[in-house]
Structure 1
Amino acid sequence: MAKWADEITLISETEQADRVNDNGFPVEPAESSRTVFCNMKSVGYNEYFKSEQTGKVVERKCEVHKADYGGEDTVEMDGRRYFVLKTYDIDEDTLELTLTDLRHKGEGA
């Protein structure tokens, strides 16, 4: 049975009204974050090596409650940020997040 004892931080970005500052440099999006409970899962041997062939290595997996997840594409845990590579419906209440290195953010799936 799931214990929901682990925590992750879900991070969302909001574009600023002005895309550049007075000096013409890009303005970073505003971030908002919230911490939710999750279940950490292990990445299987087969899944890891198949993902390595695509160049987007599956590094972590976790389950979250669907009610807690708002479509955020960045997750932080243990001081490191990850990109949500894919989501998978486990059941009517639970969603599995597959996480990869943050440098893949913005790339096509």
Structure 2
Amino acid sequence: MTLSKPANYCCPPLLAGNLTATEAAGVAVLFRVLGEPARLLLLSAIAAQPSGEVCACELVESLGLSQPTVSHHLKVMYEAGLLTKERRGTWIYYRIDRSQLTFLRKVLD
């Protein structure tokens, strides 16, 4: 004779996550982009500017990276939606796209 007992679980069931599979794929792209130390340095340098923007030419000297390296990383961050840019004559000024950072904060909360 066997007695039927309710199953005991070690943990309560998980709640549903906040992200869809499509959103998770997009967030993973952003984190891969931010996984490069040079890009974090660039993002930090842009964020530290009182005006909230910086000319690409200023980043080369201040971070000690070559111009092609800075251009490549800025392009990757721009294409990922982390930065916006504005051309003024021959110079390009970059700003952080605050909506993307707000989204990442929301994901992490």
TM-score (norm 2): 0.31
Higher strand share: 1
TM-score (norm 1): 0.31
Larger radius of gyration: 2
